[in-house]
Chains A and B, each alone.
Chain A
Amino acid sequence: MAGFDKVVSSYEEAMAGLTDNMTVIAGGFGLCGIPENLIAEIKRKRTTDLTLVSNNCGVDDFGLGVLLPNRQIKKIIASYVGENAEFERQMMAGELEVELTPQGTLAEKMRAGGAGIPAFFTATGVGTPVAIGKEERTFNGRDYILEEAIVGDFSIVKAWKADRYGNLVFRKTARNFNPLAATAGKITVVEVEKIVEVGELDPDQIHTPGIYVNRVIQGTFEKRIEQRTTRSSAQLKEKGE
């Protein structure tokens, strides 16, 4: 009897059913709040020709960047990339398709995808390369472009805590795109630092209700920091040292 119990016990089980050519939405901002072990499992599975939807594409040896060396990514939809050399090489060589999407539009595409809204109008990108090929409309004298929602075959999400029913709580800015990704996956897989019993999380404090979540797994995390900046290091840098 599983009922609403979403907990799985292995990463293999967590990512079961992921196959070539699928679209995967990933939470995270830079390396903050990324589902690092689920990404590692995709690398291990060697699934290829994936379309990835994520704000960034990790760095050379961490985050989604680890899927680059084996050419597992066919296309990436992201707002900010190029934090890693292999990414730049594949993009320049035409081996990797990149669809640059404004960050707010990307977030809204996920939100809309999860909320059953197929498209929305936004002023973001009007008159820029982003608007090319998109329908334009004027509302109250202002121009807007039509942006389509995104739904993933899989969403991979990192949360802080989950109960066994998949209710989620995120921690600090590791929240970022994760709650949106969680709503927009046909299969949403969440890895967390701690699984608690049902009833332990205060219903008023749940960020993502379990209805969006299909699988939950507890993992251990490296939580790598991209720009380790302290009060004293910042002062040194400003002095040019």
Chain B
Amino acid sequence: MALSRDQIAQRVAQELKDGYYVNLGIGIPTLVANYVPQDIEVMLQSENGLLGMGQFPTEDEIDADLINAGKQTVTMANGASIFDSAESFAMIRGGHVDLTVLGAFEVDVNGNIASYMIPGKLIKGMGGAMDLVAGADNIIVTMTHASKHGISKLLSNCSLPLTGKGCIKKVLTDLAFIEIKAGKFHLLERAPGVSVEEIIKLTAGELVVNGEIPEMKL
């Protein structure tokens, strides 16, 4: 079975380490916050100027002056700090964020990522994504492995305008956990009940399968 959005988030959360500063993108990455292991502490960075994002507010706590990068009302965690947008991206560009999780339309074997624009169709802008992929060393891309019509999103070459070049090393899809190195995809784990053959069939770029591929533990 392909992973649900929440299960993808759950698996990403296993990559969190105690003391990590983490930036979570919009969509599935946001859900990762729900699965932070009990025994560790992480601090969430929101690029509109908040380090130490808390949970969503109660009705009484709603404050129009306190939102996240997805423009949702949020709260501040204990020990939070507030800063302007230049400072926020100094943290990001300067490589101070330990882990970035974001979505994408396509990734390819060279670690390129396309996530912000479908020419003629969807032109909303890159927001902070280009800075995030350029500034972070440790990035996990979350996405569905293929489109509804079975068209692979893991390609030899991205077909859409790039968000970043050669910057992606890890991809977690609804079917597999994949590492990108030396111009190839490498299959690390498969979703429970999903066969290696199925993953190969839906991966357009070259995929290296080395030995027995373990199932993800959720």
Contact = CB atoms under 8 A, between A and B. Distances in A.
Interface in B86-114: 86, 88-89, 92-93, 112
Contact of B165 (A30, A127, A224): A127
B65 A103 contact: no
Most A Cβ at <10 Å: residue of B92, B93, B129, B130? B130
Interface stretch (A18-26, A167-175, A197-205, A211-219): A167-175
Interface stretch (A2-10, A45-53, A227-235): A227-235
Contacts of B47: 103-104
Given A173-B67, A227-B70, A228-B62, A104 B128 contact: yes
B89 A81 contact: no
B126 interface: yes
B25 to A, nearest CB: 12
Interface in B70-91: 70-74, 76, 82-86, 88-89
Most A Cβ at <10 Å: residue of B47, B68, B72, B76? B72
A102 B126 CA distance: 6
Contacts of A174: 64-65
Interface stretch (B49-57, B178-186, B193-201): B49-57
A30 B93 contact: no
A29 B64 CA distance: 12
Contacts of A176: 48-49, 84-85
Q: Is the interface of B mostly helix, strand, loop or mixed?
A: loop
A84 to B, nearest CB: 11
Contacts of B67: 29-30, 32, 173, 225-227
B127 interface: yes
Interface stretch (B36-44, B141-149, B156-164): B156-164
Contacts of A172: 50, 63, 65-66, 76, 82
A31 B125 CA distance: 17
A55 B100 CA distance: 21
B131 A104 contact: yes
A189 interface: no
Interface of A: 29-33, 55, 78-82, 88, 91, 98, 100, 102-108, 110-111, 122-130, 160, 170-180, 207, 223-234, 238
14 contacts: A32-B65, A32-B71, A78-B125, A79-B127, A107-B88, A122-B134, A160-B65, A172-B66, A173-B48, A173-B68, A176-B48, A178-B84, A229-B72, A230-B59
